[in-house]
Amino acid sequence: MKAIDRYSVMKRPAEAFPPIDFIQEEIMTRTGYTAFLERKHHVVARAGRDVALEDIHPMLFPFQAQLVQWATRKGRSAIFADCGLGKTLMQLEWMRLVDEPCLIVCPLAVARQTIREAKRIGIDLKYARSQEDAAKFTITNYEMVGKFDPSQFGSVVLDESSILKSFDGKTRSRLIEMFSETPYRLCCTATPAPNDLSEFANHAEFLGICTREEMLSLFFVHDENGWRLKGHAQNAFYRWLASWAMMVKTPSDIGFEDDGFILPKLDAKPVWIEGDALEFAQANGMLFPMGLGGIQGRSQVRRMTIEDKVDRAASIINGHHEQWLVWCGLNDEGRQLKQRIPDAVLIEGSDTIERKEAAIESFVAGLTKVLISKPSIFGFGVNLQNCHNVLFLGLNDSYETWYQAVRRCWRFGQKNPVNVRVVLSDLESAIWENVMSKEQTAEKTSREMIKNVAQYEIEELGLGMTQRSEYQIDDRHGESWHMMRGDCVERLAELKSESIDLSVFSPPFLDLYVYSDSERDIGNSRTEVEFYEHFGYMLDGLVRVLKPGRIVVCHVAQVPAKLIVDGYIGLKDFRGMIISAFLDKGFVYHGDITIDKNPQAQAVRTHSKGLLFAQLHKDASWLRPGLADYLLVFRKPGDNAVPIKPDISNDDWIEWAHPVWYGMRESDTLHVAEARAEPDERHVAPLQLGVIRRCVKLWSNPGEKVLSPFAGIGSEGYQSLLEDRRFVGIELKDTYFEAACRNLEAATMKRHQLLLPIMDEVAK
């Protein structure tokens, strides 16, 4: 008996494998395939115009000029830059370089500051409240944007564009619809919170990049904790994000020096007043104090403690000779404080736009000592770095309100340490702790996101190349088996034409970033069209290497349709689509087999409402049968040169010829836990060994060669070796490839163990 050889390991570049029987047509196919893979990169194409850095106004810092050059080239983009990094100058210079009639839309009281900045770089920017007053370069407030005709503008800028999420859905949708045909679009705002999907989605939709639903279906998964990035989607998401948005907290994030952009010290402290806990408890029907409770309790405490807070706030401010910016949340808070500080200016939502703008102008000029207002009025975009003393008269749980309100004064360009005092009752300590906790989390996650996206931003800006994961191939051989790591399309091209006797495999299903982030992964396709184009390249290779008249068995199941992705809950006919793909490549549809599955086991595993007993008694219109597996059988046209003579009985054939295979145990699979990588979103589900056994015995002879272009952990090869066949497998993912090699080695050992009694008997 031949000794069992340990498999050899060979790692070498793709060019070291000269193609066998490689025809010119395939060379053309591979060239087209390379271009197809490039198209699969999830990046946003440029839609603007090229400008040279020397054409950008010299007043801009180098990092600002680089961002403007990029945004002009992209045409539709977002600049997420922290407060004080010069977003106003960048958007004005972008507008000048695009040189189309432009409408800048900004928050209240920002327009005057923007006009002043425009004059500094020689741009004539006009403030208008309707289309009748518009000029080539026009600026208006969000409140007035409905009075303009978007068709009259070739470009649009949303200043402080994060304000989009503060609008109701109707207003936000109107903005998106208004400028959907505008060729050039730019959004400018501070760096968004990393977990704020609505902010990314709002911007992507306004810029015409994708809808919220498309973004979620591409990169995110929904679980018990809400929406989160898929494990294998991290790099792809950040690459995609950097292709239309630049996220910058400091210039060094994109490779520049931070000189002149260092924030001054921030001294933020709560100022506690004593609250009557017993009074609050009794007012809420409690015998003893039991915390704030929800929104109602927080509001009640805030109103109960207004007078004491105003007293403390007035004593702080009246003891200072410097300017103070006061943020309140209730009209009564602002009005009572105004009475205690006679020279203070109070601005409320009901005040006219003219009065609001005049108040900001006076405060910026230093003519007003104390300005009192709400973050909802002046909390976005306004540069108030003339002041370095901020007081919050009460606080809510919103971190963004806190962040934006503080950043009006604490920003790059501020020359003094910024003092922030938050007047709270001791009953509201939970609010302060909540906001501070959110701040720490936001800073940590924001820094992490900046680090992840920076490498792709630097490449987008043309300042360097991203260190991408190198595509590697590997070949390992054992007794009667050959495993090939790599792209099945390219590696199939290395196999000799008409050298395969049978192919059995499970293809990737329509699901992004479940097992890898590679564009070579057929499952990582944005659309069904892209999936079938990629799958078609594999079928081109498969039909070439299969012998005429021989069989391919493709294992599939129907794919559930998801509301967020497909717009409905139901099933997609993946089975029918695979059949069509095979037919398009010239295969003959030979038959199919249904594999019986346990619907109760599916219900427990998937929690599908269509299978649950609760739905049976609630509304049976949602009930559906359990999902079966299917073996789709195809034949390559032509005459089979070597007859297949299965070693099975007539009784076996009676059972196997049935269109439904019963008794296939779902647990009859190879162990997969060791092959699963941590970011994998789903356990790999190998084909049952009993199913593979039937296919191999029925459609191949002993000693013939079985192929799986999606070998996974090697199930098809494992069973083929036990049935005395040879095996060739291709697998893209390294952890599955390694597991497959181990399983094939184990099958070799097991086959020899099974043969030993027979050999001993022969020897006798």
Instruction: Label residue 582 by pLDDT band (50, 70, 90).
Output: very high
Comparing 630 with 5, which gets the higher pLDDT?
A: 630
Mean pLDDT, the chain, rounded, equals: 87
Asked if the model's pLDDT at residue 621 lies above 80, the reply is: yes
Asked if the model's pLDDT at residue 128 lies above 50, the reply is: yes
Query: What does the pLDDT average to over 305-309?
Result: 90
Residues 6+ apart with CB under 8 A from 102: 95, 136, 137, 138, 153, 154, 155, 156, 157, 184
pLDDT of residue 752: 87
Asked if the model's pLDDT at residue 429 lies above 50, the reply is: yes
pLDDT of residue 26: 43
Q: Where in the chain is the domain with CATH 3.40.50.300?
A: 266-454
Indicate yes or no: pTM above 0.85: no
Asked if the model's pLDDT at residue 14 lies above 50, the reply is: no
Asked if the model's pLDDT at residue 12 lies above 80, the reply is: no
CATH topology of domain 53-209+244-254: Rossmann fold (3.40.50)
Asked if the model's pLDDT at residue 461 lies above 60, the reply is: yes
Using one digit for the tens of pLDDT, what is the confidence trace for 711-754?
999 999 999 999 999 999 999 999 999 999 999 999 999 998 87
pLDDT of residue 289: 45
Stretch among 155-169, 389-403, 549-563 having the lowest mean pLDDT: 155-169
Query: What does the pLDDT average to over 272-285?
Result: 60
Query: Considering only CA atoms, which of 747, 745, 716, 746 is closest in space to residue 730?
Result: 716
CB 418 within 8 A of CB 410: yes
Using one digit for the tens of pLDDT, what is the confidence trace for 587-606?
999 999 999 987 776 666 66
Asked if the model's pLDDT at residue 704 lies above 90, the reply is: yes
Asked if the model's pLDDT at residue 277 lies above 90, the reply is: no
CB 142 within 8 A of CB 107: yes
Q: How far apart are CA 576 and CA 524, in angstroms?
A: 20
- Percentages helix, strand, coil for the chain (3-state, rounded to 5) are 45, 20, 40
Asked if the model's pLDDT at residue 371 lies above 70, the reply is: yes
* Residue owning tokens 């902010």: 199
Hey, is 677 helix, strand or coil? Answer: coil
pLDDT of residue 500: 98
Using one digit for the tens of pLDDT, what is the confidence trace for 329-350?
999 999 999 999 989 999 999 9
pLDDT of residue 465: 62
pLDDT of residue 762: 47
pLDDT of residue 162: 83
CB 102 within 8 A of CB 125: no
Query: What does the pLDDT average to over 458-470?
Result: 74
* Residue owning tokens 């910058």: 248
Q: Where in the chain is the domain with CATH 3.40.50.10810?
A: 53-209+244-254
Cα angle for residues 441, 446, 447 (degrees, 5° grid): 105
678: which DSSP letter?
Answer: T
Q: Where in the chain is the domain with CATH 3.40.50.150?
A: 8-40+473-763
pLDDT of residue 756: 59
**335, two tokens:** 């009005």
Query: What does the pLDDT average to over 561-567?
Result: 75
Q: Of the ranges 390-404, 534-548, 553-567, 613-627, which is most confident? A: 534-548
Query: What does the pLDDT average to over 628-646?
Result: 96
Q: Mutual orientation of helices 212-219 and 234-242 as an angle, nearest 10°?
A: 140
Kindly report the length of the chain: 764
pLDDT of residue 375: 92
* Strand 266-273 relative to strand 418-425, pairing: parallel
Asked if the model's pLDDT at residue 226 lies above 60, the reply is: yes
pLDDT of residue 105: 96
pLDDT of residue 444: 85
Using one digit for the tens of pLDDT, what is the confidence trace for 140-178?
999 899 999 999 999 999 998 887 776 667 778 889 999
Tell me which amino acid residue 425 is. Answer: S
Comparing 14 with 392, which gets the higher pLDDT?
A: 392
CATH topology of domain 8-40+473-763: Rossmann fold (3.40.50)
pLDDT of residue 31: 58
Query: What does the pLDDT average to over 418-424?
Result: 96
Asked if the model's pLDDT at residue 283 lies above 70, the reply is: no
Query: The domain 266-454 belongs to what CATH superfamily?
Result: P-loop containing nucleotide triphosphate hydrolases (3.40.50.300)
pLDDT of residue 80: 93
Asked if the model's pLDDT at residue 210 lies above 80, the reply is: yes
Comparing 382 with 606, which gets the higher pLDDT?
A: 382
675: which DSSP letter?
Answer: G
pLDDT of residue 29: 47
Tell me which amino acid residue 376 is. Answer: S
Could you tell me how many helices (H) and strands (E) the chain has, helices first? Answer: 26, 27
Measure the N-to-C terminal CA separation of the chain; round to a whole number of Å: 15
724: which DSSP letter?
Answer: T
Q: Of the ranges 157-161, 347-351, 610-614, 632-636, which is most confident? A: 632-636
Stretch among 19-33, 454-468, 577-591, 670-684 having the lowest mean pLDDT: 19-33
Instruction: Label residue 673 by pLDDT band (50, 70, 90).
Output: low
Query: Considering only CA atoms, which of 507, 597, 510 is closest in space to residue 552?
Result: 507
pLDDT of residue 448: 84
